[in-house]
Structure 1
Amino acid sequence: MWEVYKKGFKSYCQLEKSLSDNSTEAYIHDIEKLTDYLLAHQLQKPVADITLQDLQQFLQWIAGLGMTASSQARIISGIRAFFKYCITEDIVQTDPTVLLATPKLKRALPDVLSYEEIEKILAQIDLSKPDGERNKAILEIMYSCGLRVSEVINLKLSQLYLDVDFIRVTGKGNKERLIPIGSSAKKQVSTYIKLVRPHTPNKPGYDDIVFLNKRGTGLSRVMVFMIIKQLVAMAGIKKKVSPHTLRHSFATHLVEGGANLRAVQEMLGHESITTTEIYTHLDRDFLKKTLEQFHPAFGK
């Protein structure tokens, strides 16, 4: 019966939760890990008979295989999602994952760029070239609105409401959110759309995509990464910088400036406030450094 439930769970992930193919396959792989364990230990049980103790022993088994805490946590996430589906479909009456403990993770926070460093990176762009105007618009909107790289490459002209200073973004799980756009980013995006994009012949299917390459199709994630990497090198910045660094810097600068965490969560499109709370830890570091620098009695 497990195979039947796995097929149903796969459809649930794709249709009900609107998860990507990669996320769905990862979840299915997590359930297969569990069924492999049950088979290897001659514990073949119906889904409804799985207990908290079974799952705890399974976690001990995968830990014994040398899996990292983050890999274990990701597998637990998949198993939780599976049993949540089973509850929804009345396959089980109780959820054995409710009291299942997740390994504590040390969150490795990416580098943050200062506003001055972002300005320095932007200053490296050659605006005499058509792709210069485009590249500056990409970086401006990523930092101004905190966009994921997937969100910026899929951004549509029909999602820009520049007359009222907002953009509409389709994020993870096809969830949409409205984000205010700053004046600098708005000006640069408008310049690109009015002066450069009309001269880029777009291929069928890309009429509504904002950022196009020379062939008239959308940019890839790798292309955006390479654009940023090159500009960072030209600016002489030694930090490890990726497209996500701009999003991370956007959120960090907001929290350091005293922004409401719920508002930051909304703009980033985080499903849980706990994801956004990593920026409060950054803020504490910022406050500590400020005290060290400016308070005469601190550290004495």
Structure 2
Amino acid sequence: MNIQKVLDRKKLDEKVLGMPWFVQQFIDYKLPDLSPSTLLEYVRDYEQFFNWLRAEGLSAATSNQGVTLEELEVLHMENVVSYRLYLTTRTEGTNSRITVSRKLSSLRSLFHYLSQIAEDDQFYPLLKRNIMAKVEIKRIHKPKDTAAKLKGKILEEDELIDFINYIHEGYGQDVSNNKQALYAHEQNKERDACIASLILNSGLRVSEVVNLNIDDLDLGNKMVHVFRKGNNDETFKTPVYFREQARDDLTHYLSLRQTRYHAPKKEKALFLAVPNGQKEGKRMTKRAIQAMIIKYAKRFGKPYLTVHKLRHSFATDYYLQNDIYKTKEQLGHASTETTEVYAHLTDKTMSEAIERRAE
């Protein structure tokens, strides 16, 4: 099991103890099919919903653990509408339409399980009436809309190489008057450029980069082996290829990994950082990589650029030379529907259709 899954499984086991027994049963039912990370989000959604039920007087429970099936059975449609309104208008962190849709979808999954799958000792459904079955959850992100939002916010053509070079050299020149920033850059520029290069030359997710170990690397074949999202076979790592530039940057980084980050022998992580006040390197965190890319992006003149948009940048560039099925495979998408974003970003399918018509 990869590092992030281990952490999320631990958090999930802790969180689920504060849930009603039927939620614990639902999580056990879903564990073989969904990752701990996904189920942890489910439990957080249920925690918020049960807190709201109790605050609104729709449950008499003194804690979320005490919420009953009977209280869920008697909910009215107006209650669901009120909850949706609460999610979209509450002052402390208003949710986007996509987030609201996901939270309602989590509830639908739970209610469906309780009313259609789970049963009591008399073989009757645990939930006799399912109010969430009446809730229509509209599909929010269509590929074309997602592509429109990404326009101008990713790296294109020569910018991919320019951004990597900027991390190597340009950023140091821009912060030359800031001794602290310059020192940090001198210490980490090879590592930082290597991470950006690997994503921009393979399309790896940030979680996949975080979980990489040294023995996952196959420099000779320009390949890394990663646990891919959605694959719950904990014994299998998927091979993902990267371009020549990433091999050069990886070779450079590996030549100084040990001396620069003082990695103990037991530390197998590929990308390391030395925490403040400590002498030995530890695995970089997802948050650290995200913050690192944002830091360089702002100075580079692409303030909207994030670590995930580096993946989008690679995918768009890769799709220009390959078909949608190869792009889907390279990115580890479950469906070509997700990969369609890059068709809209490049307008490749439309331009090819026009050319074919003209022949």
TM-score higher than 0.5 here?
yes
Quickly say closer, same or farther: Cα 1:162–1:56, change in 2 above 3 A: farther
Aligned partner of residue 201 in structure 2, secondary structure: helix
**Cα distance, 1:181 vs. partner?**
1.2
Asked if the contact 2:343/2:349 (under 8 Å) is kept, the reply is no
Q: 1:26 aligns with which of 29, 44, 60?
A: 44
> Where does the alignment leave 5 or more consecutive residues of structure 2 unmatched?
1-18, 61-66, 89-95, 170-184, 275-279, 355-359
Separation of aligned partners in 2, 1:9 and 1:247 = 34
Q: Is the 8 A contact 1:37 1:58 kept in 2?
A: no
Q: Which moved more, 1:55-64 or 1:166-175?
A: 55-64
The offset of 1:149, in angstroms, is 1.7
Give, in angstroms, the shift of residue 120 of structure 1.
1.7
Counterpart position of 1:115? 157
> CA-to-partner distance for each residue in 1:200-248, whole Å, 9 max, x for gaps?
3214652x2101113310112333233323333443x244111111011
Partner of 2:216: 159
Q: How many residues align?
A: 281
Residues in 1 aligned to 2:76 and 2:329: alpha-carbon distance in whole angstroms: 34
Q: CA RMSD in A?
A: 3.9
User: Structure 2 counterpart of 1:141, which letter?
Assistant: L
Q: Check the 8 A contact 2:194/2:249 in 1, yes or no.
A: yes
Following TM superposition, by how much is the alpha carbon of 1:58 offset from its aligned partner in structure 2, in angstroms? 4.8
Equivalent-residue separation in structure 2 for 1:164 and 1:90 (angstroms): 52
Identity of aligned residues (%): 20
The TM-score, its normalising length taken from structure 2, stands at 0.64
Alignment of 1:208-219 (within 5 A): 208-214=268-274, 215-219=280-284
Q: In 2, distance between residues paired with 1:153 and 1:80?
A: 32
Q: Which residue of 2 aligns with 1:197?
A: 257
Give the match for residue 197 of structure 2. Answer: 140
Alignment of 1:89-104 (within 5 A): 89-90=118-119, 92=125, 100-104=135-139
Q: Distance in 1 between matches of 2:112 and 2:250?
A: 43
Q: Judging changes above 3 Å, is the alpha-carbon distance between structure 1 residues 238 and 167 closer, same or farther for their aligned structure 2 residues? A: closer
When structure 1 is superposed on structure 2, of 68-77 and 7-16 the one drifting more is 7-16
AA aligned opposite 2:295: Q
* Structure 1, gaps ≥5 residues long: 292-300
Residue 283 of structure 2 aligns to a residue in which SS? coil
Could you tell me how far 1:139 is from its partner in structure 2? 0.8
3-state SS of 1:259 partner: coil
Change in CA separation of 1:266 and 1:3 when aligned onto 2, cut-off 3 Å? same
* Counterpart residue number, 1:77: 105
